[in-house]
Every structure is written in C-alpha cells, then in structure tokens.
Amino acid sequence: METNLIVEGFKFMALGMGTVFLFLITLIVLMNIMSKVLHKFFPEPSAASLEPQTPNQKDNKKIIAAISAAISHHRQG
C-alpha cells in the first residue's frame, strides 16, 4: 500500500503531462490548419484596409478646413 503512492504519483504524471501535450499539440495543428484555410478562403482584406484610409484623409482635410475656417472666423470676430 505504501509503495503504491509514489507509483501512483508517476502514473498521474504520465497521464497528466501526456494529456496536456496531446491537447496542446492538437491545438497547434488545428491553429495552423485554421490559419491556412482562412487565408485561402477568407483572405485578409489588405487592399480593403487601405481603401478606408482615403476617405479618412479626405475627412481629415474637411475637418482641418472646418477648424481653420472656424479659427479665422473667431479671429475676425
């Protein structure tokens, strides 16, 4: 009975570490597959991410124009 305890401990360790690694290795494989699949079928809109910047810049120009107009108006007033 006494000698069993340490053996039990090692059994726990083998099963525990085995499961943890099995789980994480499967997860790594799945993560890699997922990123490949997503890149193939749902490509990141890298071109699209550039597009919104142009209206943003336009907006910025509009805002800058509005602010400067307001400032000049304020100074005149």
Burial (0-12, 13-18, 19+ Cβ within 10 Å), 19: exposed
Site membership for other proteins, residue 51 (CB under 8 A): no
Site membership for other proteins, residue 61 (CB under 8 A): no
Nearest to 35 by CA among 46, 24, 43, 47: 43
How many residues touch other proteins under the rule CB under 8 A: the total is 30
Site membership for other proteins, residue 26 (CB under 8 A): yes
- Choose between 29 and 67: whose C-beta lies nearer to other proteins: 29
- Choose between 45 and 55: whose C-beta lies nearer to other proteins: 45
Residue 26 φ/ψ, nearest 5 degrees = -60, -40
